[in-house]
Amino acid sequence: MKFFSINNVFYGGINGLIFSFLGLLVAGGIFLILYVFKGLGAGDVKLFVAIVAIVGVQMVYT
């Protein structure tokens, strides 16, 4: 997860960092709920959170 945050900071500055962490929080919350109810496995949750950290929180809403 560090790489994604560093990459977004390098290209987007502090806004890139906020963009990355907001994506982590939103996707983490959504997919953690699915994990608790046995809808997804832990590996799936980590994969989706990593993808959202790269593409940002806007992709979660669309």
Task: Report pLDDT digits (tens) over 4-21.
Answer: 556 666 666 777 777 777
**According to the model, what pLDDT value does residue 8 have?**
62
**According to the model, what pLDDT value does residue 60 have?**
62
Low-confidence ranges of the chain (pLDDT < 70): 1-12, 57-62
**According to the model, what pLDDT value does residue 5 have?**
58
DSSP per-residue letters across the chain = -HHHHHHHHHHHHHHHHHHHHHHHHHHHHHHHHHHHTTSS-HHHHHHHHHHHHHH-THHHH-
